[in-house]
Structure 1
Amino acid sequence: MLASIIVALLVIPAVLLSLLAVLATAGYTARVPSGADAMGLALPFFTTAGAGLALIVASWVCVGAGKLDWISSRPMVPFTLATLASLGVALASLGVLVAWMERMGAWVPSAGLICGALGPICLGATLLGSAWLDAGKIRDSALPIVAGLPLTLVAFAGFGAGIYALSAWVKLSSENTQRVIAQSQQEEIERQRRAALSPADALGEDFAGMSADAPLWVIIAGLPDEADAEARALIVDRAQRVPNFDAELERTISADWPRYRHACAELIRLVPAEVIKASWGGALARAIAISANEIEKDHAWFTPREDRNPDPLGHVRAMADAATRLGGTPELGAALEALSKAIEGAAIPERDQALAALHAGAEQASEEK
């Protein structure tokens, strides 16, 4: 009796859940939700999956309680047939639901009613009948034929759907693997091609891919790291063609990121003399003051950091060099004095090197001037 009750508690909700999935999809004729409405697919999917699982468990309960012995007295025969039938029905229900989601054709509604509704009903009727009726009555009734034929059809459809899904997954997995391999090979070829280019040629390709109104910081960000003279000249040339160059320079040289202030100082060092404007002095003085303030507050400022401050000593040298090239105005002189005091007051191992870099930058610029 307990097994019969358990089977009923499993089968009845399972059949109702299967019918709910059919109703939720309007017999697999409703429009498939997409975009923000795609969450609506959760209801039919989980109800179908839950129903299939409940039917499988119910079939095993029937087998364990001997309720399917009317099929055969050999224990493995009822177990095998019950498992195949319930698993086939579950796969068929899920398969037709996936076919509806993928909009696979006009055949889906008809197949959906058979696999999604008729299959679970027939399986449920067979399990309930087996649980509550005598084996002899079942064997002599029309239930094995009436329910068995649709069950066989649906089970075959379910395993066919499973085989199709497995083959599709294998094919898709193979295609994805081949695509990843081809992409990796293409990326490696591109890396090798780029590695064979000179720094200037590689930079030229990068600039060719940029829009004409690319901001100044994008163009000059690599100046503090670039050692190739031809590449540096290319950066300087491209930077001068940035729209609203003076405004961009003033904005970038006052950035919080030391790399960009360093790059702007290098740019001032390298631009042709006829391009230099006295108005840049105020912006450079503010940039030097920002660096001095950072040095006072951050004892790790002179520790090279690739993204933020790749060459701190070069940063100091470039600031002094750029200030001297702009004429050494009183405003710039005061800013450099503040920078020197900040370095002198910093209890860091790099202090002497930084002071030497500061004075070396000024002296070198004076000689070039």
Structure 2
Amino acid sequence: MTRMVEDIERVSVGLGERAYDILIGPGLLAGVGEAAAKLGARAVGVVTDETVAGLHLPTVERSLAGAGLAFDTVRVPAGEASKSFDMLARVVDGLLAARIERGDLVLALGGGVVGDLAGFAAAILRRGVRVLQAPTSLLAQVDSSVGGKTGINSPRGKNLIGAFHQPSLVLADTATLDTLPERELRAGYAEVAKYGLIDDPDFFAWLEANPRAVFCAGPDRIRGIATSCRAKAAVVARDERETGDRALLNLGHTFGHALEADVAYDSARLVHGEGVAIGMAMAFRFSAALGLCPEEDAARVERHLSAVGLPIRVSAIPGPIGGAEALFAHMQQDKKVSRGRLTFILARGVGKSFVARDVDPARALDFLRRELAPAA
């Protein structure tokens, strides 16, 4: 791309013949047409949601037209509810109507919902069409656009239907984050903090010392996103299909996904990053309750997440929440369940997370009951 200036970071995902780059910096959407042309596309099928289309689609269309590419756009409603069979059928039909071929590209323009939905559509369209991820939310830029996990939700659980389908390129235009509501920025920040809590205590300490860094445009935002992407890229290169330590990236997600399912993916009540924040705080409290993690580390996690405005307790979710048994039932549908046994991501401290496959279900259920008990 011609716009390679000092404020663009490049992170490589090392997957042999399927390796790809993540480009991070402001203004990248203006070069998406050039990037697609360099990938050899003749035509591009843009998948976006109604909100993102109003903000960023004109820039993308100008760039694609300027590169001499044919393009059509499929729009879906904004929100988690679009990760459904009905919306998947709409997207696939729209891409087929646009005559997107195997040598062409699907462009996922939007946040995590669009990225997951468009990526899954690309995976099954003509048995596999390339996808270019252009994430426009913080959560998508640091997590869902990287690593090739695509899919939709089921009433029985989140992301239970999908495929691994790596992108050919990720363009993380950090200027798009300036259009996000504060709530969406905070939700994405939960995934940034996650990387420090998994195995990078120095990064977590930097975030604690610079709690607004990723929220404001500038080099610190790019640094935070690039550090997150490097962490995920390294894990994906080691364990692409989550047979080993890639499960660590699900810190907070076992609890968080159960909460999302319990509220029926109602984003007015809970968005994904908020569920992850509550889930991470719960994972550290559970680890402390099991005697694995110092209480002060669990409190440190709570303090930092609270300091940036993220929820840390189930009680922060508006409206009724099912009982401990209902949440536990949702957790039993988690993707990491193996031979009927739950897999938890627990911690021995900040930056010391690990995969736990031998947790007593009775202790997990008892912990949930305590978490849901009314405050004294």
Q: What TM-score range do you get, normalising by the shorter chain?
A: under 0.3
Larger relative strand fraction:
2
Larger relative helix fraction:
1
TM-score of the aligned structures, taking structure 2 as reference length: 0.25
